[in-house]
Amino acid sequence: MPDSPSDSPSAATDTPAVPSLGVRAPSLFRFSIEGRHAPALFVVGWLATIVGTALALVGLLSGPSLATAALLLIGFALLSAGFLLLGGSQAIDRRAAHEAYAGPSPVLLFLAIVSITLLVAGIVGTILDALGVEVYPPVGDLVSVGLQAVVFIAVVRFMVVGPGAVTWSEMGLTSEPRRIVGGLLSGAVFALPIIVVTGLLAAVLVPLIGQTPPSPLPPTGTATGLGLHLIAGAGIAPFAEEVVFRGAALTAWLRTSGPTSAIVRSAILFAAAHALGITGATFGQAFGVAVVATVARLPVALALGWVYVRTGTLWGSIGLHAAFNAILIVVSEAGLAAPTAMFWG
Minimum mean pLDDT range among 64-68, 197-201, 204-208, 214-218: 214-218
More confident residue, 286 or 81: 81
Question: Domain containing 125: what range?
Answer: 17-99+102-165
Based on the fold, state whether residues 290 and 320 are members of the same structural domain: yes
Most confident of 94-98, 333-337, 338-342: 94-98
Q: What is the pLDDT of residues 225-241, one digit of tens each?
A: 999 999 999 999 999 99
Based on the fold, state whether residues 27 and 76 are members of the same structural domain: yes
Minimum mean pLDDT range among 254-268, 277-291, 316-330: 277-291
Distance CA 152, CA 129 (A): 25
Based on the fold, state whether residues 182 and 91 are members of the same structural domain: no
The answer to whether residue 4 scores a pLDDT higher than 90 is: no
Q: Following DSSP, what letter does each residue of 125-169 receive, concatenated?
A: HHHHHHHT----HHHHHHHHHHHHHHHHHHHHIIIIITTTSS-TT
Per-residue confidence at 266, pLDDT binned at 50, 70, 90?
very high
The answer to whether residue 335 scores a pLDDT higher than 90 is: no
Distance CA 239, CA 247 (A): 10
Residue at which a domain ends, from 140, 165, 190: 165
Instruction: Report yes or no on 11 lying in a domain.
Output: no
Q: What is the pLDDT of residues 120-132, one digit of tens each?
A: 999 999 898 889 8
pLDDT at 212: 82
> What is the percentage of the chain residues whose pLDDT exceeds 90?
70
Based on the fold, state whether residues 158 and 185 are members of the same structural domain: no
pLDDT at 283: 84
> What is the percentage of the chain residues whose pLDDT exceeds 70?
91
Query: Are the C-beta atoms of residues 42 and 36 closer than 8 Å to each other?
Result: yes
Instruction: Report yes or no on 2 lying in a domain.
Output: no
Distance CA 86, CA 49 (A): 9
Average pLDDT on 302-319 reads: 97
Based on the fold, state whether residues 144 and 191 are members of the same structural domain: no
Distance CA 217, CA 344 (A): 10
Based on the fold, state whether residues 152 and 29 are members of the same structural domain: yes
Number of domains in the chain: 2
Please give the mean pLDDT across all residues of the chain. Answer: 89
Instruction: Report yes or no on 8 lying in a domain.
Output: no
